Each structure stands twice: as structure tokens, then as C-alpha cells.
Chains A and B, each alone.
Chain A
């Protein structure tokens, strides 16, 4: 059979995959056209990543066939997917942390002269590949030294530079802020205009509507709907995904903040943070917004003592911790939900139950012995409250889907009932239905008197959930806004404005 222009770029027929007894993907048949951007939506655990991994040649489907430009293809391993021109950006990032940005971008195809790597060419080519997405990123830095968002950019840049016919992107923007997202979209649209087909997986519905040509919805592993983007709307999409309508994404509330609970004074770290001072009162949610490299991530880690600050003071409930250590911060009642769940949030070999109780061990134990029943009850309660989709609390947490893992990271600290919550991208990878639950939980916590610092790259989330919004750029706080009295543009401006200054 010769390929004809009428054949779809990619045709999936009856693809199915089960893990043990869980049917992750059920008979999915789907066409992706040439130069089309197809969004793939669905709840946490719906089977999106499984489908992506099948296309990456990483998981073999139990049933079904795949055809590329009319030719049936077989993908026994990632290398053959590569050869076929299918590039996949994974939800859980895959990089070699000790290698430099350039080496990661050009992994497996480093320019060389004979057996000698041509380092000038490596850096030059990497810079060219990175230019449209992150013009300021130095390709000679080790990836380990970069914040999550920049690591994600490196991944994306690598995949986009592969000359692929099909690109699958599994939540590429989960840690990116608007500016990077805009650059990414421009690039993706450009690629699509040259005939590349893109499968775009995301929980950010705004992005889906602004980028996609068509939207496909997976539910419990089955394809339930496919629409052209102008034939549907947000409400309908959400209903298809979660099976009910989600009325109010951001629960509103009246807040009456009390005494200052968290006070930060002159927190500084060479080259990263400059005299950062602010406070969060009981019952208050303070949002922090910054672009790539703004220092928001360092601020979070320094607050908890996971990154050592050079100077400054952290005060909780009127008592100074000096420069905190993680142990002291926890005992003082600070909780940190870190941004990168796989590396910082979870012990992957441990069960869901064990991960959930990691920060409350002393509270659920007597004489150093863990109260087994209490631990189990708490775990079951948390799993239900956050709608974690898992076969049971004894399953290793690494087997859950990305969004469900994120819920476990969140749940750990919800149990600890701390006085100060520092949330770094708390809803990263969480579906719309569960997001509402998370926001409600945040509201409840604030109402019960917790002080919450919310660091997020999602502007609507920051704008709707925060009582006050702080912007950070180049390690300095650049502006403060009150809720309701500010627009996205203003916040963005002061986040960028600082960077330019």
C-alpha cells in the first residue's frame, strides 16, 4: 500500500492495555490528521499517559493496531518510535540531571568530528534549538541546577527538534507560566503548519481551547467524545470528562485574616533571593507569582530550610526559627508541598498509605509505635477526600497516574494540620473535578486558621484563590496586589517588569 494524502497521519484502531487487572485503555480508535493539533483530555487515571507511552514504544498494547500515513507500524521499543518519527514528551520528565542542558537536548546525536565531540557545535546547536522557547537559558548549565520549569523546557525543546511527524506532549505546560506557554504555543502552531501532527494532553482547559483543532475525551480508558474545538464548550468538555458538571471552579469566600502567622524578614541567598520580606496572616491565602528563574522556587525551599539561605529570618506564630532546617520548620508547623512530585514529593517504593503518613508519623504513634489502625483509617479517608484513583492504599505509589500521585503528595500534609502551608504548584497535573476539591480544601484550611502561601504558575489560580498577590522577579518581590483589584495583565507586567529591570 502506498501512502496517499488522504490517509490520516496517525490511525489508532482498537488499542487496549491492562495493568494487572486494571484496564487502563479500552479499545481506543482515533485518527489524527496531518498538521492537526488534537487535544486529549480526561480525568486523572483516564489512560492518557498510557496511550502516550504506547505511541512512544514504551508500553506494548494488548490489542489494536497503529498506522502511520497509511502504513501499519509496530513499535516494540522507544528507538523504533524514534525512527518512525514519533516524538513523545513524557509527563514525568526524563533527563540526565548531571549532564548539561546542551547534552540533554542533543542526547544520542551529539555533533562530532570523528570520535571527538565538537563541543562548540554542541552548544551552538543547542542554543539554536532552545532559542524559540527559552532564549536566555545557558546550554552549558547542568540540568540538575535548573528549576522544574526550565527542565521541562529542555525536554520540550529536545522533542520538538527531532524532526518528527507526530509529537505527543503529555502535560508539557504543567510547570510553565504564561510567557513560556505562549512561546511554546507559537512553536507548536508553526510545526503544525508544516504538517506535523500534535497530540496535546493537558488539564488546563484554557490552553486546550486556545491551541487545539479537535478535542478527544478519554474516560476510564475509553474514548467517549471527539469534537472540533468550535463545536463544544468548556462545560460540555468537563461534563464528558468527569461525568457531571463542575459549577464553580474557584469557590469564593469572605476572608477575615487575623494575626500574622508566617513572617519572613530579609531572606537572602546569593544570586537567588534579595531581601525578601513579607507576612501571611492566619486565614489568609497569599499567592506568589513569578516567571522562569524568578526565584519563587528558591523562596519556597528556603522557607522550609531545604535550601540554605545566607541571611534573614523566618518567624512562625511570633517565634523566630532563625534560618530554618526542615525538621525545625515541620515542628514549628510549616508544611511544604514541593513542585516536583517524583523527586521531591514521593518515596516511590512505598505504598500510598506510607506516603500519606510520612509527615504525621509522630502524631499517629504512641511510644514510637505507629498506630496501625489509625494510619489505615487516615489513609482511606484521604484517598476518598481527594478522590485518589487507586486500587487500594497498599499499592506502591509509583503505580498511580501522575495526577493521582500529586494528590498523595497533597494529602500527606492535609493530615498534618500545620499552621502554615507552603504550596508549590499544588494542582500540577490534577484534573478539573479534583481541582475544585483541592481549592475547597484550601478554603477550609484557611477558614480554620491556617496561613497559606500559594506559589503557582497558573495565573487564574493565583488570581482567584489569593487574598493578596506578590510578584517576584530576579529574586526580589516587585509588587503586591489585593484580590479582585488586579488583572492578569497587571500581575504579568510586574512579574516581567522586574525581570527587565
Chain B
């Protein structure tokens, strides 16, 4: 790899806004080919699907996932059942919703560690509103309002005051969680069952849980945003080279602020869903969720240096982590070993991804 040249970004069908041809096949032109290709030539090239691109499109992750599924289906007869599969999906929905929007934050060269605490506080607010006689929509709005507030605080501190995102969101992680404890006296706030039942345990179509549909919808929206909108493109540009984005006239601060607000909103909404699933708002809820979220995003192929991320990769990353947890529980592995397995899979997936990338370039 020449020093002066940038590392070619491994491109993928799953790649978000940067749809770059990863495989060198795309560069092939016969010797003596015209120096300036024709119009059709120019736009067609790089759009073709090649083996290299498929490989780049997260096949490595799929292989890891398949291996996990096969292993557990051998170890437990309960694993490969429709019900368990739905369990996994429900289990992944909170993580997934938050990870989808975290992908946007990380692409823009940011970081949001406050999401777990926001989920908890939003759940508490949901419960409090319902217990005070508020309606379902009001409760959900309250939860989203919490997310909006946290997102705004994060975003403004980071973009206006220029505090480092890691420090900022580490601080709000602590503050928001603290507020949830103070508000509830550290007690879980239950609310009457009928409230929010549709959101928590509702099923539609072929028994698909509502929360799973919501998660998929969030992923589709994030994907559309990154792939097709000016905002999505700006996120990638800001993450890829903030200085160039600024000089291209992109409002870098506003773009980053929007990413944090969206991340907050989605965490707030996820908090309402979690409260609905548990029929309670708990200040301990979603403890450590932020680490799983970041792990899912990175597993999915996003670069922590910004400028690159894959939404569907994030979904796969989240699925891998939840499936692993589910399988280990089913096979009665102690939670200590679960921790070790969790870390091992994270390392394994990242190593595979790195190897694949090495081959691609």
C-alpha cells in the first residue's frame, strides 16, 4: 500500500452512501482502451455485482452467524424453533433500534454512549406518566421527549462547545442514569398490564412481534437516509473528512447535531418499547446497552474513524450478539462463561473482517 494513497474503502452492497467498487475487476480496461471512456462506460462501471463485492458485503459476518446457529442447534433441541427464533428477534429489537441510529453517529465520526441510560430514563418516564393516568400516546411521547432532550444536550455540547464526544456522552450516561435512580428512589415502577400492551407484546401478520417490525422499519429508514438523502451523504462526508466537508459548504455542526438528536430520539423510543415489554420502567434497565450497541455497529463493519458504516451489517452484528446470548442461556452456560464467549466472538468477527479487508485491497 503506497504511503501517499488512501486505503481504498472496502465497498459493499451493504455499504451505505459510499458505494464504491471494491473489487479491482471494476478497474479493468483493456490495454490501449480509450483514455476517456464513453458516457455509458463511466456510469456502468463499478455498478456490477462481482464476487469480490459479495464477499465484501458482509459474507464474513454471515459465516460467523451461520456457525453460531449450527453450533447451538446441535447443542440444544429448543434452539432451532420458531418460538425461540421470535424470542431472539424480540430480544434484539431494543438493541437493534438503538444500534441502527448509532451507526449514523459513528459514520459521522461521533460516539454516543448515553443511549443505555436514555433507554432507562425514558422507560421510567413512560411508567410515571401511565401511573399518573396519562394515555399511551402521551407516555410514548414523554419517552421520546426524554430522548430528544438528551440528544440535544449531547449534540450541542459536542458541536457548539466542542467537547469530545466520548467524554460528553460518558458524562451524560452517568447523569441521565443518576436522574432515573433519584426520580424512582431506585425502585422499578410497574404499571397496569393493559397499558401499552400492543407495543410490548402485540403481534401482527404471521405472529411477528410489533417491536420487531418497528426495529425493521427503523433499519429501513436509516438505510434509505444514508443511501439516498442529502443528510445521509453529508454524514458520510463529515465523517470521512470534516475539513473538506466544511470547505464544501456543508454545515458540519448541524449535521452532527442532527445525528445525536436522532440517536437520542431512537433511544427514547426504545425505552418506551422496553417499558411496554416489561410493563414497568426500571432505572436499572439497559445497563451496559451502549457497549453492545457499539459492538454491533463495529461488528457490522463501521469504521470508528468515521466515514464508513453499513446499516445491514449493524443488524447482523446485533443478531449475532443476541443469538449468542440466547444460545448460551439455552445450553445452561454460566454467565461468567457467557462474558468470555461474548468477547471472543467480538474479536473473532473483527479479525475476520480485517482479514477480508486485507484481501480486498
User: Counting CB contacts under 8 A, is B82 at the interface?
Assistant: no
Q: A348-B240, A349-B240, A394-B47 are in contact. Are A23 and B31 (CB under 8 A)?
A: yes
User: Counting CB contacts under 8 A, is B43 at the interface?
Assistant: yes
Interface residues of A in 391-413 (CB under 8 A from B): 391-396, 398-399, 412
With A and B bound together, what is the CA distance between A335 and B248 in angstroms? 8
Closest to A305 in B: B246
Q: A361-B230, A391-B27, A395-B20 are in contact. Are A347 and B43 (CB under 8 A)?
A: no
Main secondary structure on chain B at its contact with chain A? Answer: loop
Binds A, one of B32-40, B117-125, B274-282, B326-334: B32-40
User: Counting CB contacts under 8 A, is B254 at the interface?
Assistant: yes
Contact of B254 among A19, A327, A358 (CB under 8 A): A327
Contact of B42 among A94, A345, A393, A399 (CB under 8 A): A393
Contact, CB under 8 Å: A349 / B4: no
With A and B bound together, what is the CA distance between A412 and B8 in angstroms? 21
User: Counting CB contacts under 8 A, is B26 at the interface?
Assistant: yes
Closest to A93 in B: B4
Contact, CB under 8 Å: A21 / B20: no
Task: Determine the chain A residues whose CB is within 8 A of the CB of B24 once the complex forms.
Answer: 19-21
Q: Name the distance in Å between A217's Cβ and chain B's nearest Cβ.
A: 16
Contact, CB under 8 Å: B43 / A361: no
User: Counting CB contacts under 8 A, is A200 at the interface?
Assistant: no
User: Counting CB contacts under 8 A, is A255 at the interface?
Assistant: no
Contact of B18 among A78, A220, A351, A379 (CB under 8 A): A351
Q: Name the distance in Å between B357's Cβ and chain A's nearest Cβ.
A: 13
Task: Determine the chain A residues whose CB is within 8 A of the CB of B28 once the complex forms.
Answer: 20-22
Provide the A144-169 mask, 1 if CB < 8 A to any CB of B, else 0. 00000000000000000000000000
Task: Determine the chain B residues whose CB is within 8 A of the CB of A358 once the complex forms.
Answer: 233, 237, 244-245, 248, 250
Q: Name the distance in Å between A208's Cβ and chain B's nearest Cβ.
A: 22
Q: Name the distance in Å between B156's Cβ and chain A's nearest Cβ.
A: 17
With A and B bound together, what is the CA distance between A347 and B37 in angstroms? 23
Task: Determine the chain A residues whose CB is within 8 A of the CB of B7 once the complex forms.
Answer: 398
Task: Determine the chain B residues whose CB is within 8 A of the CB of A331 once the complex forms.
Answer: 249
Q: How many A residues touch B, CB cutoff 8 Å? A: 63
Contact, CB under 8 Å: A349 / B9: yes
Provide the B18-56 mask, 1 if CB < 8 A to any CB of A, else 0. 111100111111110001110101111111000000000
Interface residues of B in 274-320 (CB under 8 A from A): 307-308
Contact of A94 among B4, B27, B41, B236 (CB under 8 A): B4
Contact, CB under 8 Å: B42 / A383: yes
Contact, CB under 8 Å: B20 / A396: yes
Binds B, one of A62-70, A369-377, A444-452: A369-377
With A and B bound together, what is the CA distance between A1 and B43 in angstroms? 54
Closest to B243 in A: A344
User: Counting CB contacts under 8 A, is B231 at the interface?
Assistant: yes
Contact of A330 among B233, B234, B249 (CB under 8 A): B249
Contact, CB under 8 Å: B248 / A94: no
Q: Name the distance in Å between B132's Cβ and chain A's nearest Cβ.
A: 38
With A and B bound together, what is the CA distance between A49 and B2 in angstroms? 11
Task: Determine the chain A residues whose CB is within 8 A of the CB of B46 once the complex forms.
Answer: 351, 391-395
Q: A58-B2, A347-B240 are in contact. Are A21 and B29 (CB under 8 A)?
A: yes
Contact, CB under 8 Å: B4 / A347: no
Task: Determine the chain A residues whose CB is within 8 A of the CB of B29 once the complex forms.
Answer: 21-22, 391
User: Counting CB contacts under 8 A, is A462 at the interface?
Assistant: no
Contact, CB under 8 Å: B229 / A391: no
User: Counting CB contacts under 8 A, is B339 at the interface?
Assistant: no
User: Counting CB contacts under 8 A, is B6 at the interface?
Assistant: yes
Q: A347-B237, A369-B228, A389-B35 are in contact. Are A327 and B251 (CB under 8 A)?
A: yes
Contact, CB under 8 Å: A220 / B35: yes
User: Counting CB contacts under 8 A, is B5 at the interface?
Assistant: yes
With A and B bound together, what is the CA distance between A256 and B29 in angstroms? 47
Q: Name the distance in Å between A116's Cβ and chain B's nearest Cβ.
A: 30
With A and B bound together, what is the CA distance between A393 and B43 in angstroms? 6
With A and B bound together, what is the CA distance between A231 and B98 in angstroms? 70
Contact, CB under 8 Å: B233 / A327: no
Contact of A348 among B43, B44, B241, B251 (CB under 8 A): B241
Contact, CB under 8 Å: B244 / A347: yes
Contact, CB under 8 Å: A412 / B4: no
Task: Determine the chain A residues whose CB is within 8 A of the CB of B31 once the complex forms.
Answer: 23, 26
Interface residues of B in 191-223 (CB under 8 A from A): none
Contact, CB under 8 Å: B21 / A398: no
Task: Determine the chain B residues whose CB is within 8 A of the CB of A384 once the complex forms.
Answer: 36, 39, 42
Contact, CB under 8 Å: A349 / B229: no
User: Counting CB contacts under 8 A, is A421 at the interface?
Assistant: no
User: Counting CB contacts under 8 A, is B17 at the interface?
Assistant: yes
With A and B bound together, what is the CA distance between A59 and B3 in angstroms? 9
Task: Determine the chain A residues whose CB is within 8 A of the CB of B27 once the complex forms.
Answer: 19-22, 391, 395, 399
With A and B bound together, what is the CA distance between A220 and B24 in angstroms? 19
Contact of A365 among B4, B8, B230, B247 (CB under 8 A): B230
Q: Name the distance in Å between A346's Cβ and chain B's nearest Cβ.
A: 6
With A and B bound together, what is the CA distance between A23 and B33 in angstroms? 10
Q: A90-B3, A380-B39, A399-B5 are in contact. Are A394 and B21 (CB under 8 A)?
A: yes
With A and B bound together, what is the CA distance between A21 and B36 in angstroms? 15
With A and B bound together, what is the CA distance between A220 and B6 in angstroms? 23
With A and B bound together, what is the CA distance between A387 and B45 in angstroms? 17
Closest to A371 in B: B228
Closest to B28 in A: A21
User: Counting CB contacts under 8 A, is A92 at the interface?
Assistant: yes
Which has the most chain B C-beta neighbours within 10 Å: A22, A338, A392? Answer: A392
User: Counting CB contacts under 8 A, is A362 at the interface?
Assistant: yes
Task: Determine the chain B residues whose CB is within 8 A of the CB of A365 once the complex forms.
Answer: 229-230
Task: Determine the chain B residues whose CB is within 8 A of the CB of A19 once the complex forms.
Answer: 24, 27
User: Counting CB contacts under 8 A, is A202 at the interface?
Assistant: no
Closest to A384 in B: B36
Task: Determine the chain A residues whose CB is within 8 A of the CB of B9 once the complex forms.
Answer: 349, 396
With A and B bound together, what is the CA distance between A379 and B231 in angstroms? 19
Q: Name the distance in Å between A423's Cβ and chain B's nearest Cβ.
A: 13
Complex A-B: 20 CB contacts under 8 Å: A20-B25, A53-B2, A58-B3, A59-B2, A78-B3, A306-B247, A327-B249, A347-B244, A348-B6, A349-B9, A349-B240, A350-B18, A369-B230, A391-B45, A392-B21, A394-B19, A394-B47, A395-B46, A396-B6, A396-B18
* Leading 5 A-B pairs by shortest Cβ distance: A21-B28, A330-B249, A394-B46, A20-B24, A392-B45
**B contacts, CB < 8 Å to A:** 2-9, 11, 17-21, 24-31, 35-37, 39, 41-47, 228-231, 233-234, 236-237, 240-241, 243-252, 254, 307-308
* Apart from A338-B244, A368-B231, A380-B39, 7 more pairs, CB < 8 Å: A20-B24, A21-B24, A21-B27, A327-B251, A350-B18, A384-B42, A398-B8
